Amino acid sequence: MTDIRERALIVEDCRTVAALTKLFVQRQGFEVLVAADGLIGLEMARRELPRVILTDFYLPGMDGPDLVRALRADAATRGIAVFMLTSEDCPARRGQAMDAGVDEYILKPWEPQRMAALLQAVVSRTDGVRA
Amino acid sequence: MAGSREYTSCLVDDLLVGIPVEAVREVTTGAELTPVPLASPLVGGLLNLRGEIVTAIDLRRCLQVGERPAGQRPVHLILRSDDGCVSLLVDEVGDVLDVADEDIEPAPRTLRGRIRELITGVHKLDGRLLLVLDTDGVLSFSSGELI
Amino acid sequence: MTEMDEILKEFVVESRENLDQLERDLIALESTPSSTDTLGSIFRTVHSIKGAAGLMQLPKLEALAHSGESVLSQLRDGALVINPAIAGGLLALADGMRQMLLHIDRSGGEGDVDCTAIVERLARLQQSSVPGPAAAGTRPDTVDGTRPVQSGIRVNVDLLDKLMNLVGELVLSRNEIVQFSSLQEHSVLLGTSQRLSAITTQLQEGIMKTRMQPIDTVWNKLPRVVRDSAEFCGKRVRLEMEGRDTELDRTLIEAIQDPLTHVVRNCIDHGLETPEQRIAAGKPAEGRLLLRAFHDGGQVTIEVSDDGAGIDVAAIARKAIEGGLLTPEQTRLMSEQDLVNLIFLPGLSTASKVTSMSGRGVGMDVVKTNIEQIGGRVTVHSQAGAGTTLRMRIPLTLAIMTALVVTSGDECYAIPQVNVLELVRVDAGEATQRIERIRDVAVYRLRGELLPLVWLHTELGQNGFQRLAADGAANIVILEADGVKFGLVVDEVRDTQEIVIKPLGRHVRAIAMFAGATIMGDGRVVLILDISGLAVKTHLLSNVRERGSVRHDAALEDTIARGEALLLVAGPDEGQMAIPLSQITRLEAFDRSALERVGGREVVQYFGDILPLATIASLLPEHAPRSRTPHGEHDGAVHVLVHTRDDRRVGVIVDRILDTVEHGLEDLRPATRSGVRGSVVIQGRVTEILDLDLICGGLGAPRPVWGQAVAPPELVGAEA
């Protein structure tokens, strides 16, 4: 029986960051999709229903917080784990992200072990509903 | 064999000319030549080589041995160059000759004028002189200049 | 290559693109300092680079970006307002980053590139905060504007090249099939080949689009170049661009980048005057640099013009003389345009502040060579006090265009459809009336408009004088190029075809009359006419308001006076003789059997006429002949130079044609016999220069009647 991999969606417009993140997440055993734009990311999330979404804060089309709010507003995508990746550690931004409803707020560059652990935790949730 | 090279031999009027084989891409006959008005007289015309447009340089005119006899079709020696291919018009193409580098001598004083400028050396065969052509020299002139 | 190596490569590419955008935005910001969109875009760009650098473990680059970010956030908050010092600092930041990227690209790491100077400069700028009006109500973290979404894929360039070639081959095959099927009258074949034709056309257009990029890809880097050069040279410059979306094949885009940059720098350094000089000359202090690009008949024209002082021909001439490239007498013989063209001579590049700034020794000669290598041509036109225009014309490689096929003599020629306005046929018999003459120039009246007429066969150097078609009609193609309208008289008009333009090789590409070549359905190579080149050659088009006479040079690239074109022949007593090509209408070779004897003289039938023949020996009265084969036969053919004078044609038999050369005839040694202009040493031999006008005075033939049928003769023998 073939190993069905969990899907992850990365929403990031900087190609280099997207490529690196994809590489890392793939090595954690995920099948990775990439969107370079918030609107496209939302569209792909609805269609593909990934297990986890890693999104940047600043995005063209629809920025990170708006994307997360849209995901939470839709019953189909409400339960997807969302990690917000950002390079700025600023309380205001963290607050915005949490208000929008992210599960984790992660600073770039992330600590590999921590990120791996967080991704594993997502997969091992049996009911797919956030705690 | 170390220290020797192969040359494609060809006849230009009664001159035996040798061209390093690596420079020769192919030999063809029967190609129609489109004349290029206003070009240097050394340009024999343009031909269609499987869709590639190739300039033909008339070796008879380069070596100043007079015009090809009426009705005689030239043979095209297609040479590689980094600017696309060029065809050298000769009368006949002969065998590939193997010539040791040390057997190539500088052109004798009796060879004068244009011919001298275009060859890099000569080789004495039985009763004949093989003139080694300076292919770079022939290929590198551009319109408006004569070699 | 590991995955990380690939990502690093991608990082360098992406960052460079980001920096291009950054520079564009910075320069835009200088003119509209309050644009929050632009500022937002700049901030995001630097932020992006910083983030990526951090992830790629490139701490120096990250630190650089960070220092830029600090200045930018102050700008964004209104604590700082953009000024030249800040803009300069941020541009220096971009330069520093480029340097670092270059190092990373080459060595995979940051090495010991030192950016402390830039970081300090930016830190200083931060502290110079001039309290500006606080940006009220704007959320600092708003995402203003959107970066354009790029939906596309990256395709390997080699693959695109392959596809392009295949499509080109497909078009050629399609042409063959269409030609063949049109002869077959087989309805199914015809229908299918028509469909094939339509599909091929669409495919070709689609593929070409993948390779075409707007010239803006190159031009968008120029505002920065202009800004830096102007600052460096102390000039004020306004850059204007027209035709930014003119598309070129991507290989051409790459090839013109450097030449264009150099030309722009040159204009600012040498062309434009300082603000003070300009005001003194009654011009606005700010100089204008105009870039234009447009398509024209299968070629792309790119112009760079400035409204500066024009090219100082006196200074150039002096430099050329000092450098030993020309003598003072030669410069005196040269027209103004020739002197202007001297800027293309290697060794004449005047050292400039700007070239030392760019650190590279690039001269106009290199620009010219670079453009010619891609099959293009460069011309320059200058007006003292008003400005200079440099024009580059480049053929669209592997472009496919519609062309009108015409004939002249035995050969077909293709005229880009874009240049063709209409076709006019003047029937036999009407020609003399309809073709008028105004001061020796033939013109045709087209609905009241007088158009100058040009005969294609004449411009191609073929025989005859204003020759008409076989049936006596005049087939005139009304053309337009660069705003000039004229009529081209051809032998026949064939049809319109879609052709693939192939560039000409180095041995023939500089000929101004031809823009390229193509392959017809029957496999034959056909030359494509460059109508602009034709117009210039026939002096219908003159971009320079020249006072004084113009040297009649065929190609504008001939910058040095070269003397006359001469035909070298073997003389009667084994000497060498030369005849000016200008005196020779045509070179013919007849079979021995074609010669006839009439009334004690040899003649040959020629174009429906009788051509009297004479050997050089018999024409030179003091000649002492030795016995030799009659009529100087060589290789079975009799070589004849046809000389025309006052509509009479005569043939001069020569023993052997040796060569064509160009040689100055200023220092002739005086003639020793009549009919000879003098003698000079050519190719190591004393050569007598014959004057055919003098020696042929005695011969004559009946005048041809205007409008008489002129068909290419079935002559045996090769043409020279």
Six-digit token pair at C365? 């000669």
* Mean pLDDT computed over C48-55: 86
What is the SS3 assignment for B81?
coil
* Mean pLDDT computed over C220-246: 89
Which residues of chain B neighbour C634 with C-beta distances below 8 Å? Answer: 66
Query: Is residue C653 within 8 Å of residue C614, measured between CB atoms?
Result: yes
Q: Which of C210-214, C379-383, C581-585 has the highest mean pLDDT?
A: C379-383
pLDDT in the model for residue C569: 87
The separation between the first and the last C-alpha atoms of chain A, rounded to the nearest angstrom, is 31
Q: Does C3 touch chain A (CB under 8 A)?
A: yes
pLDDT in the model for residue C400: 62
Q: By a Cβ cutoff of 8 Å, what residues of chain B touch chain C?
A: 32, 34-43, 45-48, 51-55, 57, 61, 64, 66-71, 83-84, 86, 113-114, 141-144, 146
Within 662-701 of C, beta carbons closer than 8 Å to B belong to: 683-684
pLDDT in the model for residue C128: 63
Q: pLDDT digit string (tens) for C260-285? A: 888 898 888 888 899 999 999 889 98
The pLDDT of residue C576 is above 70: yes
Query: Is residue C42 within 8 Å of residue C80, measured between CB atoms?
Result: no
Q: Among C118-122, C166-170, C261-265, C437-441, name the one with the lowest average pLDDT.
A: C437-441
Q: Among C25-29, C208-212, C469-473, C562-566, name the one with the lowest average pLDDT.
A: C562-566
Q: How far is CA A115 from the centre of its chain?
A: 12
Cβ–Cβ gap B142/C513 under 8 Å: no
Q: Among C198-207, C242-251, C276-285, name the one with the lowest average pLDDT.
A: C198-207
Q: By a Cβ cutoff of 8 Å, what residues of chain A touch chain C?
A: 13-17, 19-20, 23, 36-37, 40, 58-61, 63, 87, 92-93, 96, 108-109
**Residue-level length of chain B:** 147
Q: How confident is the model at residue C152 (pLDDT cuts 50, 70, 90)?
A: low
Strands C435-438 and C657-663: unpaired
The pLDDT of residue A32 is above 90: yes
**What mean pLDDT, rounded, does chain C reach?**
77
Q: How confident is the model at residue C319 (pLDDT cuts 50, 70, 90)?
A: confident
Cβ–Cβ gap A15/C57 under 8 Å: no
- Helix (H) or strand (E) holding C52, with range, is helix C36-55
Query: Is residue C529 within 8 Å of residue C415, measured between CB atoms?
Result: yes
Q: CB-CB: which of B51, B66, B69 is closest to C169?
A: B51
Cβ–Cβ gap C508/B141 under 8 Å: no
Six-digit token pair at C354? 């700007």
What's the sign of the alpha-carbon dihedral C495, C496, C497, C501? Answer: positive
Q: Does C70 touch chain A (CB under 8 A)?
A: no
Touching pair A, C by Cβ (3+ pairs < 8 Å): yes
CA distance C176 to C153: 35
Q: CB-CB: which of A40, A60, A109 is closest to C54?
A: A109
Q: Which residues contact C190 (CB under 8 A, 6 or more apart)?
A: C181, C182, C184
Cβ–Cβ gap C637/B67 under 8 Å: yes
The pLDDT of residue C526 is above 80: yes
Q: How close C106 comes to chain A (CA, Å)?
A: 18
What is the SS3 assignment for B143?
coil
- Helix (H) or strand (E) holding C315, with range, is helix C313-322
ipTM: 0.89
* Mean pLDDT computed over C91-117: 85
pLDDT in the model for residue A52: 95
Cβ–Cβ gap B38/C554 under 8 Å: yes
The pLDDT of residue C88 is above 90: no
Q: How close C66 comes to chain A (CA, Å)?
A: 11
Domain boundaries defined on chain B: 4-139
pLDDT in the model for residue B77: 94
**Residue-level length of chain C:** 720
pLDDT in the model for residue A127: 47
Which residues of chain C neighbour B69 with C-beta distances below 8 Å? Answer: 635-637
Cβ–Cβ gap C11/A16 under 8 Å: yes
Query: Is residue C568 within 8 Å of residue C660, measured between CB atoms?
Result: yes
Q: How close B95 comes to chain C (CA, Å)?
A: 26
Give one DSSP letter per residue of chain A, joined into a string: ---PPPEEEEE-S-HHHHHHHHHHHHHTT-EEEEESSHHHHHHHHHHH--SEEEEESS-SSS-HHHHHHHHHHSTTTTTSEEEEEES---HHHHHHHHHHT-SEEEESSPPHHHHHHHHHHHHH-SS----
* Mean pLDDT computed over C627-632: 45
Q: Among C183-197, C451-465, C537-551, C617-631, name the one with the lowest average pLDDT.
A: C537-551
Q: How close C658 comes to chain B (CA, Å)?
A: 6
| CATH of B4-139 given 3.40.50.880, 2.40.10.10, 2.40.50.180, 2.40.50.140 | 2.40.50.180
Q: Which residues pair with C403 in a beta bridge?
A: C416, C497
The separation between the first and the last C-alpha atoms of chain B, rounded to the nearest angstrom, is 34
pLDDT in the model for residue B58: 92
Six-digit token pair at C92? 């220096």
- Name the residue of chain C whose CA is nearest to B74's CA: C718
Q: pLDDT digit string (tens) for B70-82? A: 888 999 999 987 7
The pLDDT of residue C323 is above 80: no
Single-letter code of the amino acid located at A49: L
Distances (CA, A) of A123 to A53, A116, A120: 12, 11, 5
Task: Please tell me the class of the A7-124 domain.
Answer: alpha beta
Residue in this structure with the two tokens 């020996």, named with its chain if needed: C617
pLDDT in the model for residue B7: 92
Query: Is residue C377 within 8 Å of residue C558, measured between CB atoms?
Result: no
Cβ–Cβ gap C589/B40 under 8 Å: no
pLDDT in the model for residue C720: 32
In chain C, the percentage of residues whose pLDDT exceeds 70 is: 82
The pLDDT of residue B10 is above 90: yes
- Name the residue of chain C whose CA is nearest to B73's CA: C718
pLDDT in the model for residue C298: 63
Which residues of chain C neighbour A60 with C-beta distances below 8 Å? Answer: 143, 146-149
The pLDDT of residue C680 is above 70: yes
Q: Does C147 touch chain A (CB under 8 A)?
A: yes
C417 burial level (CB within 10 Å; 0-12, 13-18, 19+): middle
Strands C492-500 and C400-408: antiparallel
Q: How confident is the model at residue C397 (pLDDT cuts 50, 70, 90)?
A: low
pLDDT in the model for residue B102: 83
* Mean pLDDT computed over C307-333: 83
- Name the residue of chain A whose CA is nearest to C141's CA: A93
What are φ and ψ of residue C633, in 5° steps?
-75, 145
Which residues of chain C neighbour B141 with C-beta distances below 8 Å? Answer: 507
Helix residue ranges, H only, chain B: 59-62, 114-118, 135-139
pLDDT in the model for residue C475: 92
Q: CB-CB: which of C509, C657, C718 is closest to B70?
A: C718
Task: Count chain B–chain C contacts defined by CB atoms under 8 A.
Answer: 116
Q: Does C713 touch chain B (CB under 8 A)?
A: no
Touching pair C, B by Cβ (3+ pairs < 8 Å): yes
Distances (CA, A) of C293 to C242, C300, C391: 6, 7, 10
What is the C-alpha R_g of chain B? Answer: 15
Q: pLDDT digit string (tens) for B100-113? A: 888 888 887 777 77
Q: Does C297 touch chain B (CB under 8 A)?
A: no
Which residues of chain A neighbour C73 with C-beta distances below 8 Å? Answer: none
Residue in this structure with the two tokens 């590999």, named with its chain if needed: A112
Q: pLDDT digit string (tens) for C684-720? A: 778 888 888 777 765 544 333 333 333 333 333 333 3
Mutate to test the interface with C, among B142, B146, B147 (most CBs of C within 10 A): B142
Which residues of chain C neighbour B66 with C-beta distances below 8 Å? Answer: 634-635, 656-657
Cβ–Cβ gap C460/B52 under 8 Å: no
Q: CB-CB: which of C14, C47, C143 is closest to A63?
A: C143
Q: Which of A62-76, C104-118, C430-444, C704-718 has the highest mean pLDDT?
A: A62-76
Q: Does C592 touch chain B (CB under 8 A)?
A: no
Cβ–Cβ gap B70/C168 under 8 Å: no
Q: Does C5 touch chain A (CB under 8 A)?
A: no
The pLDDT of residue C148 is above 70: no
Which residues of chain C neighbour B39 with C-beta distances below 8 Å? Answer: 507-508, 511
Eight-state DSSP code of residue C555: S
* Mean pLDDT computed over C655-674: 75
Eight-state DSSP code of residue C271: I
Mutate to test the interface with C, among A68, A84, A87 (most CBs of C within 10 A): A87
Query: Is residue C411 within 8 Å of residue B35, measured between CB atoms?
Result: yes
Q: What does pTM read for this prediction?
A: 0.47
Q: pLDDT digit string (tens) for A4-30? A: 788 999 999 888 888 889 989 998 889
Which residues of chain B neighbour C637 with C-beta distances below 8 Å? Answer: 67, 69-70
**What mean pLDDT, rounded, does chain A reach?**
86
Single-letter code of the amino acid located at B31: A
Strands A52-56 and A7-11: parallel
Mutate to test the interface with B, among C374, C502, C525, C560 (most CBs of B within 10 A): C525
Cβ–Cβ gap B36/C508 under 8 Å: yes
Which residues of chain C neighbour A32 with C-beta distances below 8 Å? Answer: none
CA distance C535 to C541: 5
CA distance A15 to B18: 57
Burial C675-703 (b: 16+ CB within 10 A, else e): bbbebbebeeeebbbbbbeebbeebebee
Distances (CA, A) of A103 to A29, A90, B87: 20, 17, 72
Mutate to test the interface with C, among B32, B40, B46, B73 (most CBs of C within 10 A): B46
CA distance B83 to B52: 12
CA distance C595 to C383: 57
